[in-house]
Structure 1
Amino acid sequence: MSGKVAIVTGSNKGIGFAIVRGLCKKFDGLVYLTSRDVERGKKAVADLEKEGLHPSFHQLDITDNKSVETFRDFIKEKHGGIDILVNNAAIAFKGNAPEPAGIQAEQTIAVNYFSVLNTCEKLFPLVKNGGRVVNVSSSAGQLRNIPSEALRNRFKDPNLTIPQLSELMQQYIEAAKQGTHVPEWGNSSYAVSKVGLTALTMIQQRMLNDRDIKVNAVHPGYVDTDMSSHKGTLTIDEGAAAPVFLAVEADDTVKGQFVWYDKQIASWDGPRPT
């Protein structure tokens, strides 16, 4: 059970795949590439092995509690702990998706917020003191994307708890089902999910300060991936640069922050960096 361990969720393709690649090059330890689909995950590992890199694979579907618990038990038994956890797994509906707003809201928040929260709650007890957690958010996760000032103030309340945040996420889902969400929440389930994830990051940092665990949210940039319908301008390796930086290179003072793809600390509730 010796040696260091890094884990990247949802990493058989796209930014997650490139984060694994970057960690294999810069992290002095074992890197786990995880994915829902075993065959796709193993193929991704084989592709990296062709580059002379040596990640390990384990199945992990963050939407399946049994899968999360199986993975947790495996890591605990084999390694005893986690040094780096990168929460990358996420979904996004396309702009022309036919599903009603309520369905999009429920499914997007379920994966991008509630499943990430559950994964963190299962894995955080294994994160070693001094470890690092990187939550892959988005520019959509900036607070300015929520139209309602009252809601923005609730999200950035320094005393906000996880149960209160989860209740806010549920309130959004109900509003979307009723068709009343746009004036206060905006028209993007993805944006609300990433605002929730960024808010969660701030709460997690407060909760883990006494263990010297650094938790940061990161906007990886507009990356050429399936999720962006390949409209992004950055390569996956460019998108992985800031997450990898936070995982292995950032100063220990960088914690509880929202970090831009160029590694600048950004204002969560202000304008984007120039």
Structure 2
Amino acid sequence: MTRIAVVTGGNKGIGFCIVKQLCQKFNGIVYLTARNTNLGQAAVTELEKLGLKPHFHQLDVSDDDSVNVFKEYLSKTYNRLDILINNAAIAFKMDATDPFGIQAEETLKINYFGLKKVCNALYPLLKPHARVVHLSSGAGHLSKIPGASLRAKLSDPDLTEEDLDKLMNDFISSAKAGTHVEAGWPQSAYSVSKVGVSTLTRIHQKLFDKDAREDLVVNSVHPGFVDTDMTSHGRSSAFSRYRASMMTPDRGAQAPVYLALLPPNTDIKGKYIWSDNTVVDWLAESTPPL
């Protein structure tokens, strides 16, 4: 029996280091996936130089055909999946000139709806005791949503995936109309996308708890403030206060890998995890320091 792990967006940054650490610790095959085939294969070559043996498959989380091709490949080749780490994400820079409505649509297309697309395709392949990790963020805590009414909707224990989709689409619509702040949303599409991911984690775990497959677990994780392209390597003035605590990508990969390798029948499920592996109350009024 060959166990299978998949990491999305694995060609650089935290994703690359997650693949590296899984290759070192996971007893099975680790798939590094990336939208760009050349960049993905180059990343695999770099890991091979370290004596590691990741496999590669192209995967664009926003593209139906790409996701379906990967699903069919895994299904026909292994008919199983034991670890899924949803790392692929984008963030517009602070100086981006794109209209905010476009930023909202493109960010949620990848970070929320793309993640969902991968889950919908690959969840049927999960085997008992499988582990799913959604990369969230410190920006994905519920307290980042200013509107009390929105926070109440997002934290509703009866919220469904369809309800959450509607809220995410409502944000996009209001962002395009320029009414998102009035509606209670923050001035950050990235934050909304990651709050969506954190919320989705709670919904997915409830579904897993009712699943006939034993011990399916999903958690979301804030990996820390990490020195990557997404954070502009700390050079942006927006991140100046975090520079002293900036982590290496290897350190940022630590918590996602910890969650991916949780032991059987863990109590850590459906949770929001901080970079030091602690469970953080997603419903609290504020978050711990980054």
Which residue number in structure 1 is paired with residue 271 of structure 2?
A: 257
2:226 counterpart (211, 223, 226): 223
State how far apart, in whole Å, the 2-side matches of 1:273 and 1:248 are: 24
Match of 1:117 in 2: 116
TM-score scaled to structure 2, two decimals? Answer: 0.92
1 CA distance for matches of 2:91 and 2:65?
Answer: 23
Secondary structure of the equivalent of 2:9?
coil
Could you say which residue in structure 2 is the equivalent of 1:163?
A: 162
For residue 178 of structure 2, what is the aligned residue in structure 1? 179
* Equivalent residue number for residue 217 of structure 2: 214
Supply the AA of the counterpart residue of 2:94: G
Structure 1 counterpart of 2:84, one-letter code: L
Amino acid at match of 1:272: T
Matched residue, 1:191: 191
**Corresponding residue for residue 247 of structure 1:** 260
One-letter amino acid matched to 1:152: R
Contact 2:18 2:254 in 1 (8 A): yes
Secondary structure of 1:203's counterpart equals helix
Correspondence for 2:94: 95
Find runs of 4+ consecutive structure 1 residues off by over 4 angstroms.
none
Q: 1:235 is matched with which residue? A: 248
State how far apart, in whole Å, the 1-side matches of 2:263 and 2:148 are: 32
1:203, distance to aligned residue in structure 2 (A):
0.3
TM-score normalised according to structure 1 size = 0.98
1-side partners of 2:222 and 2:140: how far apart? Answer: 8
SS at match of 1:68: helix
Paired with 2:100 and 2:164, the residues of 1 have a C-alpha distance of 21
Shift of 1:250: 5.5
**How far 1:249 sits from its partner (Å)?**
3.6
Deviation track 1:136-179 (CA, whole Å, cap 9, x = no partner) reads 00000000000001100100111100000000000000110111
Query: Residue deviations 1:166-208, cap 9 Å, x none?
Result: 0000000011011111241010000000000110010000001
CA RMSD of aligned residues (A): 1.0
Corresponding residue number in structure 1 for 2:287? 272
Could you give the per-residue CA deviations for residues 55-92 of structure 1, whole angstroms, max 9, x where no partner exists?
00000000111000000000011111000000000000
